[in-house]
A and B are shown apart, each in its own frame.
Chain A
Amino acid sequence: MKYVNEFRNGDIAAKLARVIASEVNTDRNYRLMEFCGGHTHAIFRFGIQDLMPDNVNFIHGPGCPVCVLPKGRIDSAIKLLQEHDVILCTYADLIRVPASKQMSLLKAKADGADIRMVYSTQDALNIARQNPERQVVFFAIGFETTTPPTTVAIQQAKQQGLSNFSVFCNHLLTPPAMRHILQQDGDQSANIDGILGPSHVSTIIGSQAYNFCATEYHIPIVIAGFEPLDVMQSTLMLIRQLNNDSVTVENEYTRVVTPKGNRKAQALMQEVFELRPTFEWRGLGMMPDSALQIRDAYAEWNTEKRFDVESIVSSDVKNCLCPAILRGLNKPTDCTLFGTVCTPENPMGACMVSSEGSCAAYWSYGRFRQPGLRASQLEKSV
């Protein structure tokens, strides 16, 4: 299948694995952070870690928008549902995310709240058109990739005078989060040698957006596609940079990503959104200039203005190691909550929420990866 099978070819993977094995310097470790959940997902789903030498390890980054959404934002959404009887439209994997007091949108729905799962902002607009007597709120979430469709929806609502539609904006920006992870000092300094950079996000903002990683923090970064061969090729590119002491922004995902990105989408975002002075990320805390809010010119379609939503700041679960896991300082298995009180069925921290979160992925795919249980060894156990 075009653009699916080509980038999942096992023979090419084996060749790349041999090249990587021959080029790694056995005297050092390569600690590479894949920023996006999509990369984490590919690494586990295709078993990419198995194809790497022992001294090449992936650290799973915070690039899962659902995972880093703080409890307070879901609390606010539940409050909207309860107090204003709105129809809340949301992308599907948000409905399980834990809110305060053991609540979630899934539980609120069971309790009678009108929550609709949508696949696009256009679905949400349609629901607003079909229910003129009800207020319809779109729970907008995601990094720069999902922001342009939200922009278009707000503009369409304005053009069509859809006064019963509004957007509860939770859009986040990737570069500030990357900066936040890299700039911690002392004990909390990130333990990362190189970064596999965002894939779809970069189609919008361009590879140039990450120049600061190299110039300010001296960390090499390779923009990587989400297919498994992309991940392997990008890993090889990072290993070569590290071996040559070179620190630059490289682009492996050239079939989609350009240095400057999608200028039209950027202009649209600029028109509708502005920087939020500060925003809370689950696991990382308050981060300045890391999220977007709707400009005053579009205030009528801003849920927070329309319903006077107060911001609820939530403290993360005690003992949760998410902040350290997201900085590559700990593995999920180092956390005392992992697999005991914190499981995919009952997630506590950010990393267990979506299947792309590092703890959830570790739980699903990597939990029992101790010697004697690798598939290759299992085969011989019969």
Chain B
Amino acid sequence: MMRPYSGKLDIRHGLVNMSHGSGGRAMAQLIEQIFMKHFDNELLRQHNDQAAFNVDAGRMVISTDAHVIAPLFFPGGDIGSLSVHGTINDVCMSGATPLYLSAAFIMEEGFPLSELERIVISMAKASRDAGVAVITGDTKVVEKGHGDGIFITTTGVGVIPNGINISGERACPGDVIIISGSIGDHGMAVLSSRENLSFETTLQSDSAALHKLVKKMTEVSPNIHCLRDPTRGGLATTLNELALQSSVGMLLDEQAIPIKPAVVGACELLGLDPLYVANEGKLICICDAADADALLAAMQTDALGRHAAIIGKVVMDEHHMVQMKTSFGGSRVVDWLAGEQLPRIC
């Protein structure tokens, strides 16, 4: 095929410039030598503005997620892998099998091509590992000062197997609440690598695609009531959302909630509450009490659910509060967060 540009991009020293978003030769070169090269698949290779594919009959799911994060690279991941995991997780929390992803990149003029390639390589690896290909996309460049390096928006589609009806309004009093593993890892790993904070820790982000774990779970119990990944706002916020949606209350047992000592320590240091810290590779499952043991056992066979635990139950409560029996022996309300969680002064 005749190419509209000549030569190779200087990825090592080059920077994104306005012409990379102009629709001309430079953009074609960037797409070919970075995006096509690493995402390579049959649908992308057709060079259309869209990707066409067949699906089996059934209920489809679509979800989209915009990724803005500082820093772009953090222990255990980067904006690339996160943009794949985040959207796959949003799709599969319906019980769906994710099929394909699309990706939009908004890059700031001056962004190093080497970092762009590093992000795309990580994204391509995450997508290959998950078995969910990026089949169409878009790139835009904004002037320097009009963006923060790079923003990535991904959209995912999937199909829900017959007989599965997972939704946020299905929690009933008596249901059991399960978490797939320790909370707060992602948020604290990202905070630990912020320039003005950087503290020494071995913590890694838990960023991971959860669809294989979900598949194991729906195979054991197709009657799961709710699934949700507790990302921004953490476990506390997600449970409050579900309590409100289902018009129920929740009662947690603090002692049962898995948290790594390093997360507890870092939270103590900064005056944060781990219940409100973000996760990117965990899910909350709410199910009938009769299904709980089998589900827990199935989850624990998967690497991403090895530390799964039952952390509480759904109760009747006209105020839709989430409450918690503290390890200390008292009880507290686990409320919605007011604004952003800010470190306390003393």
Contact = CB atoms under 8 A, between A and B. Distances in A.
A218 B44 CA distance: 81
Interface in B318-343: 319, 321, 323-333, 335, 338-339, 342-343
Interface in B245-266: 249, 251, 255, 261, 264-265
Given A47-B328, A92-B342, A96-B339, 7 more contacts: A48-B328, A50-B329, A119-B343, A200-B346, A345-B339, A378-B251, A382-B313
B159 interface: no
Contacts of A367: 333
B264 A375 contact: no
B330 to A, nearest CB: 2
The B interface is mostly helix, strand or loop, or mixed, namely loop
Given A65-B346, A119-B197, A146-B346, A4 B329 contact: no
Contacts of A108: none
A50 B315 contact: no
A49 to B, nearest CB: 7
Interface in A1-26: 1, 4, 8, 10, 13-14, 17
Q: Which 6 A-B pairs have the closest CB atoms?
A: A47-B330, A344-B338, A375-B331, A50-B330, A46-B328, A92-B342
Interface string A98-125: 0000000010000000000011000100
Nearest to B252: A375
A131 to B, nearest CB: 14
A150 interface: no
Interface of B: 173-174, 196-197, 249, 251, 255, 261, 264-265, 268, 270, 273, 313-317, 319, 321, 323-333, 335, 338-339, 342-346
Contacts of B329: 10, 13-14, 17, 47, 50-51
Contact of B345 (A50, A146, A343, A368): A146
Interface of A: 1, 4, 8, 10, 13-14, 17, 38, 41, 44-51, 65-66, 91-96, 106, 118-119, 123, 141-143, 145-146, 200, 228, 343-345, 354-356, 360, 363-368, 373-376, 378-379, 381-382
B343 A93 contact: yes
Contacts of A363: 335
Given A1-B261, A378-B251, A356 B333 contact: no
Given A48-B330, A376-B331, A92 B343 contact: yes
B313 A143 contact: no
A92 B339 CA distance: 12
Given A96-B342, A123-B196, A368 B321 contact: yes
A38 B331 CA distance: 18
A95 B340 CA distance: 11
B330 A46 contact: yes
A93 B313 CA distance: 33
A142 B333 contact: no
B211 to A, nearest CB: 32
A49 B330 contact: yes
Contacts of B326: 10, 45-47
A200 B271 CA distance: 14
A37 to B, nearest CB: 8
The interface centre, meaning the residue of A44, A94, A366, A375 with most chain B CB atoms within 10 A of its CB, is A375
Contact of A47 (B265, B273, B331): B331
Contact of B332 (A65, A106, A365, A381): A365
Q: Is the interface of A mostly helix, strand, loop or mixed?
A: helix
Contact of B324 (A91, A94, A375): A375
Contacts of A368: 319, 321, 333
A382 B174 CA distance: 6
19 contacts: A41-B344, A47-B325, A47-B326, A47-B331, A50-B330, A93-B343, A119-B343, A141-B345, A344-B338, A344-B339, A345-B338, A364-B333, A364-B338, A365-B335, A368-B321, A375-B251, A375-B331, A378-B251, A378-B317
A142 B316 contact: no
Contacts of A1: 261, 264-265
A378 B323 contact: yes
Given A10-B327, A14-B329, A344-B338, A381 B315 contact: yes
Contact of B333 (A14, A123, A355, A365): A365
Contacts of A373: 317, 319, 321
Nearest to B339: A96
Nearest to A127: B196
A326 to B, nearest CB: 18
A378 B265 contact: no
Nearest to B197: A119
A102 B30 CA distance: 47
Nearest to B270: A119
Given A66-B345, A92-B342, A382-B316, A46 B332 contact: yes
B346 A44 contact: no
A123 to B, nearest CB: 6
A13 B255 CA distance: 15
Nearest to B265: A1
**In the complex, which of the residues B270, B313, B342 has the most CB atoms of chain A within 10 Å of its own CB atom?**
B342
A347 to B, nearest CB: 9
A382 B315 contact: yes
